[in-house]
Amino acid sequence: MGWLTRGKNTYIKNRNMKSAYLADSDISTDFTSEIEQNEAILKETFQHCSDLEYRRIEVNHSLQWLIVYIDSLIDKKMLDEHVIKPMQTSQKRDELPKEEVDLKNKLISIGNTRSSSKVSDTVRNLLEGHAAILTAGSSTVLTVSIPGLVKRSLEEPSSEQVLRGPRDGFIEQLSTNVSLIRARLKTPKLKVEYITLGEHSHTRIAISYLSGIVQESLVDEVRTRLMSIQLDGILDSGYIEEYIEDQPYSPFPQVHSTERPDVVVAELLEGKVAILVDTSPFVLIVPMTFWTGLQASEDYYNRWPIATFVRWIRFLFINLAIFAPPLYVAITTFHQEMIPTNLVLSIAAAREAVPFPAMVEALLIEIIFEALREAGIRLPKQIGPTISIVGGLVIGQAAVQAGFISAPVVIIVSITGIAAFTIPRYSLANGIRLLRFPMLFLAGFLGLYGIVLGFLGIMLHVTSLRSFGVLYFSPVTPLNVSALKDVIIRQQIWAKFRVKSRRTKEGGER
C-alpha cells in the first residue's frame, strides 16, 4: 500500500485538475468586452513567447477580430483557408456575424470549436494546438482545433517484431493510438477516459478498458493510483510505471509495456486495463503476471503445436539465463566430483593458465558482455551490430589466448546471453539479467547451497509479489487448473475463448 502513502495528500490538488494551468501563469480573471484589453491579457500571460502569433482583421479601420495561436502547434495552411479567408470574404460582402454563435456556424468550417470567457480555458486550448478568435465587443473567445504537429508514420515496432501478425505500432500521438485500438474493437463497451497529469507538462493520459469484462474495482484502483501522482512533467509512460507498481524495488516488472496494438486489444479482452500516455508510443497494461512476460503475440498467430514448442524453449532458456553461470562457478569451485572425469580434465586444462578464480572470471566476462550489448544499442544503427559482434569475437578470442579467461566461461556466458534474448518482454529480460549477478556471488561463496538459497529467495519473492492485487505467479500459485492450460501449452483459440469450433459433426461427415 506504499502508493497510497505517496499520494494521500494529493486529492485536493488533483480534484481541480482542469484548472491546473492556473499554477503556471496565476490566471484568475475573465475576458472583457474590450478586444484590446483582452489582447493585453494574453500578451502578459505569454511574456517572452516569441512563437505566439497575433493576426489582426480590421473592419472600417477598426479591429474586429484578433486571431491568436502558437506557430509551432497549428496548421497555418488550414488556418488561412478555413478561418482567415472566410472572415475576409464576409468583410467584403458586409456580412459580418453579429454573435459568436453566428461566427461558429457561418464562417468556421473546420474542426472542433470551443467557446469560453475564462482566460485559463483559452490558455489551455492555445497550448493544446487551438487558435483563439477574439471578437470586438464580446467577452467570449472561440477556439478552433487545428493541430499541426508532425507525427510519425505507422510502422512495425523494432523491439517487438513478428514473422506473422499485424505490422502497425503505436506512435507518439495519443489520438492515433486510441484510434488503433478502436479499429480493432468496434464496440461501445470500449471505454476511454482522459485525465491530465504533470504540473508543467499537462500530459494527457487515457485509461482504456472493456466494460462488462473488466472488474470495476480494478478500474477504480487504476484511477486512484494515477491521480496520486505528483510530477513536474511526464515525458514517457515509464514515469507513470514507477509510480503505480506495487513493489518499486523488485527486479521483476509489474506493469506490462508494449508498442503493439494487437497485444493491447488481446489484454483488454482478458479484462485488463490499458494506460496510454501522450507523446509516448509505449502503452502500459495492468495487471501483469510472470507468465505474461513469457508470452509473445505471435504465439497466437501460429498453430498451437509450434507455439507450445517455442514456449517450452523459453521456459528452458529463462532458467539457463539465471542459473547457467552460477552452476558452472559452483561446480568447478566446490563440487568437481559432479563432473565426469574427461570433462573435468578438459576444464582444468583450459583454466590452467587463468590467474583468477572461476567467480571472478565469470563476473568479468559477464560485465564485458553487458558493456558490448549496451554499446551496440547506443551506437548508430549502421555500425552498432557490427561493433558488438566484432568486439565480442575479438575480445573473447584475445582474452582466451592471453590466458585471462578460459574458453568454457566464454561458451557459458554466450549461451546465457542468447537465452536472455529469447524472453519476449524486454522489461522482464532486464530483470533476469540483473538476477545473474547476485546468483554468481552466492555460487562463488557457498556453491550449490548458495544457488539453492538464491532460488528459494527468488521463488518466495515472486510468489508473494502482486500486480494491482493479482498474484504475480498466478495461475501457478494459487493453482488454477483451468487457467494453467494456457501457461504450459498454447491452448487452441477456440478452446481458450470457449467458442464453438467450426469442425462440427456435419462438417466432419462432409
Distance CA 471, CA 184 (A): 29
CA distances in angstroms from 169 to 22, 157, 181, 266, 288, listed in the order given: 36, 6, 11, 14, 21
Q: Are 157 and 424 in contact (CB under 8 A)?
A: no
Task: Render pLDDT for 175-227 as a digit per residue (tens, 0 to 9).
Answer: 899 999 999 999 999 999 999 999 888 899 999 999 999 999 999 999 999 99
Cβ-proximal residues to 79 (8 Å cutoff; 6+ apart), any chain: 67, 69, 131, 146
pLDDT at position 111, please? 62
Distance CA 468, CA 3 (A): 11
**3-state secondary structure (DSSP) of residue 430:** helix
**3-state secondary structure (DSSP) of residue 143:** strand
pLDDT at position 16, please? 41
pLDDT at position 489, please? 85
- Could you tell me how far CA 443 lies from the centroid of its own chain? 35
Distance CA 254, CA 288 (A): 5
- The grid cell for 240 is 507513470
Q: Order across the sheet with 113-116: list the strands.
A: 52-59, 62-70, 130-135, 141-145, 113-116
Task: Render pLDDT for 31-51 as a digit per residue (tens, 0 to 9).
Answer: 888 888 988 999 888 888 888
Q: Are 257 and 293 in contact (CB under 8 A)?
A: no
Neighbouring C-beta atoms of residue 274, cutoff 10 Å: 26
Q: Which residues of the chain have pLDDT under 70?
A: 1-28, 90-107, 109, 111, 382, 384-386, 388-389, 496-510
- Could you tell me how far CA 193 lies from the centroid of its own chain? 17
Nearest to 138 by CA among 34, 9, 234, 226: 34
Specify the pTM. 0.83
pLDDT at position 496, please? 67
Task: Render pLDDT for 132-167 as a digit per residue (tens, 0 to 9).
Answer: 988 888 888 888 888 877 778 888 888 888 888 898
Distance CA 264, CA 437 (A): 33
End-to-end CA distance of the chain: 60
